[in-house]
């Protein structure tokens, strides 16, 4: 890069001097810094803070008026701080930006979950932030310890301040109802605790009964399996016994046949032996000295031949008799074996029958016990459900009674023709950061001339007085004045009956043309921005991720059941640890 010579520098300087006022006018104005001011009286607890975008100033108010005022620096062009109605939803003493290079933002008081906040920061004397409201460091530290979650923050396009205000539509509490509320809340809390204990005990009993019933049912299944196997064994034993009996009968028949044959052969053999003896005696030769004629010799020879034949037949008969005796012996042995097999089969059949009968008795007993346990488990389950219903109902009553001890905030939107109610539960948000706001009342509302603009007005009960509550009004968008705006609104009596009798100081009613911003969720009171003013610092931020609302198992109050019946306001989706708090700044 070439360096300019002295003559060139002189020429540039002359050119700038020639431009004069025209060049200076292109720079943003730099007003003199405003000093921190304190009211000349003892300050009470801050009820609201009003930021003036026009004057680059923030003013805190207690019940009796302004208490502290300081200069601020809001969003630059393109990243303008949005005008609207907000509330403090989180505080962090030593916050560092997750978007702007870990920039230090001490004494941070968050007003939206997508990254708008009040915090300490440098003040150049004009709008210079990315959308947040920077306050003097010492002032931010001082106010950090004075405010509470839920404090109203109003960002106004112009200078705005609360003025005393009265109107028949503003809540008039019932002193007796307010006095009775703490004791009623304690009583209902005690009853809810007792109902919770009873529900837990009923659940424990139901779980035990269900476990016992399941155990007995499993035992029945096991016994049924054993009984089935025993019946199969009995059937097999009965078939084996029948087969053994048939084998015994066959063996007995074979023995009888063999015995008869052996007996018959024995008789034949005896007869043959006797006959053979006779023949042998007849075939004996005559004495040698005797005179034997030829006939006699022939007879003796014939007898000898017959005796020899008979002897051969006798030998054959003896062999047959021997075989018959062997067959008889074999039949006797077979019969003895058949008798033993039948005896064994009979014993096995009797054992199987005894076992099957015993298992049948056990199975019948187990079935009866299991049926009783199942009935008992069903009854205990119903009792547990009833106890859980009571627990949920008592918890809801206790929660409602506890909420009556908190200031109530009302938002009435001409855009949606809805009335929204919020009360801080002071319960930590389950997915990290901030507290949960109850939103169980969201109902349609009647606004006269609904097509006509109504403006944006914030009515705040700043203190109690003899007639009930002392109210102020702040108007930041004045299509109608505050009185005319309330004149056009009609709140249903049943809604008033639920809200007005126990309305406390710090309660508020907001009437606006605007719908609730999508940044309104279960961790916020209300977020409403004026759509007829720049919102660069709001629109350029990534929207808060939604959460899914759901009831707990008991059907009672839980952090995610806060958006019942609300189709206009989105709740946030549970997130992982890495993006649990999407701060975006």
Query: What are the DSSP calls for 445-505, one per residue?
Result: -EESSTTS---EEEEEEEEEETTEEEEEEEEEE-SS-HHHHHHTEE--HHHHHHHGGG--T
Residue 335 CB partners (closer than 8 Å, separation 6+):
248, 251, 252, 254, 255
pLDDT of 99 reads 66
CA separation for the pair 83, 87 (Å, rounded): 13
pLDDT of 33 reads 52
The answer to whether the predicted template modeling score (pTM) of the entire model surpasses 0.85 is no
* Of 227, 63, 77, the residue nearest 151 (C-alpha): 63
Distances (CA, A) of 371 to 212, 220, 367, 419, 528: 11, 10, 6, 54, 61
Residues of the chain with pLDDT under 50: 1-27, 32, 547-585
pLDDT of 192 reads 94
Domains and CATH numbers, the chain: 199-393 (1.10.287.2610)
> Residue 541 carries which DSSP code?
S
Distances (CA, A) of 440 to 28, 46, 460, 559: 47, 27, 21, 11
Per-residue b or e along 222-244, where b marks 16 or more CB atoms closer than 10 Å to that residue's CB: ebeebbeebbebbeebeebbeeb
pLDDT of 574 reads 34
pLDDT of 539 reads 76
pLDDT digits (tens, 9 = 90+) for 402-430: 999 999 999 999 999 999 999 999 999 98
pLDDT digits (tens, 9 = 90+) for 199-256: 999 999 999 999 999 998 999 999 999 989 999 999 999 999 899 999 989 998 998 8
pLDDT of 479 reads 87
pLDDT of 490 reads 95
CA separation for the pair 554, 552 (Å, rounded): 5
* Nearest-5° Cα angle at 340, 334 to 344: 140
pLDDT of 122 reads 94
* Of 142, 78, 158, the residue nearest 109 (C-alpha): 142
Backbone angles phi and psi of 185, in degrees to 5: -65, -40
Q: How many CA atoms lie within 13 A of 75 on its CB side?
A: 25
pLDDT of 545 reads 64
Secondary structure percentages of the chain, helix, strand, coil, to 5: 45, 20, 35
User: 3-class SS at 429?
Assistant: coil
Are 307 and 276 within 8 A, CB to CB?
Answer: yes
pLDDT of 294 reads 81
């Amino acid at each position: 890069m070439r360096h300019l010579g002295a003559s060139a520098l002189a020429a540039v300087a002359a050119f700038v001097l020639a431009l004069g006022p025209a060049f200076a006018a292109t720079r943003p104005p730099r007003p003199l810094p405003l000093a921190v001011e304190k009211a000349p009286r003892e300050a009470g607890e801050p009820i609201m803070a009003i930021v003036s975008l026009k004057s680059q100033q923030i003013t805190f108010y207690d019940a009796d008026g302004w208490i502290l005022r300081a200069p601020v620096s809001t969003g630059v062009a393109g990243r303008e701080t949005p005008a609207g109605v907000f509330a403090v939803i989180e505080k962090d003493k030593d916050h560092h930006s997750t978007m702007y290079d870990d920039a230090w933002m001490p004494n941070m008081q968050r007003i939206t979950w997508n990254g708008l906040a009040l915090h300490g920061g440098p003040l150049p004397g004009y709008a210079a932030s990315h959308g947040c409201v920077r306050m003097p460091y010492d002032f931010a530290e001082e106010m950090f310890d004075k405010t509470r979650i839920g404090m109203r923050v109003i960002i106004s396009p112009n200078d705005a301040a609360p003025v005393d205000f009265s109107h028949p539509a503003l809540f008039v509490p019932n002193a007796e109802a307010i006095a009775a509320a703490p004791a009623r809340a304690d009583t209902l809390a005690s009853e809810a605790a007792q109902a919770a204990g009873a529900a837990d005990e009923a659940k424990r009993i139901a779980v035990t009964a269900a476990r016992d019933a399941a155990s007995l049912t499993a035992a029945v299944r096991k016994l049924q399996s054993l009984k089935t196997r025993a019946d199969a064994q009995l059937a097999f034993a009965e078939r084996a016994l029948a087969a053994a009996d048939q084998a015994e009968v066959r063996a007995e028949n074979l023995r009888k046949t063999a015995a008869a044959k052996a007996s018959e052969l024995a008789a034949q053999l005896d007869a043959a032996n006797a006959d053979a003896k006779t023949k042998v005696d007849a075939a004996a030769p005559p004495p040698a000295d005797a005179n034997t004629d030829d006939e006699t010799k022939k007879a003796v020879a014939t007898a000898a031949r017959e005796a020899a034949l008979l002897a051969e037949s006798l030998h054959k008969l003896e062999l047959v008799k021997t075989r018959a005796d062997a067959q008889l012996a074999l039949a006797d042995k077979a019969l003895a074996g058949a008798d033993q097999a039948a005896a064994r089969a009979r014993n096995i059949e009797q054992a199987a029958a005894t076992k099957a009968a015993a298992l049948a008795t056990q199975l019948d007993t187990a079935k009866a016990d299991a049926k009783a346990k199942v009935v008992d488990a069903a009854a205990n389950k119903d009792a547990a459900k009833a106890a859980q219903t009571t627990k949920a109902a008592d918890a809801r009553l206790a929660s409602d009674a506890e909420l009556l001890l908190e200031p109530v905030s009302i938002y009435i939107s001409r855009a949606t023709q809805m009335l929204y109610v919020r009360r801080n539960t002071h319960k930590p948000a389950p997915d990290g950061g901030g507290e949960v706001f109850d939103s169980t009342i969201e109902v349609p509302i009647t606004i006269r001339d609904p097509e006509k603009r109504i403006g944006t007005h914030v009515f705040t009960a700043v203190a109690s007085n003899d007639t009930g509550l002392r109210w102020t009004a702040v108007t930041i968008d004045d299509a109608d004045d505050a009185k005319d705006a309330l004149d056009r609104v009609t709140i249903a009596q049943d809604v008033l009956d639920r809200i007005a009798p126990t309305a406390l100081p710090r309660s508020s009613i907001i009437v606006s043309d605007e719908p609730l911003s999508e940044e309104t969720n279960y961790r916020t009171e209300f977020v409403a921005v004026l759509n007829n003013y720049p919102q660069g610092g709001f629109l350029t931020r990534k929207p808060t991720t939604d959460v899914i609302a759901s009831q707990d198992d008991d059907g009672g109050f839980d952090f995610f059941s806060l958006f019942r019946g609300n189709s206009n306001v989105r709740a946030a989706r549970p997130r992982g640890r890495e993006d649990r708090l999407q701060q975006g700044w």
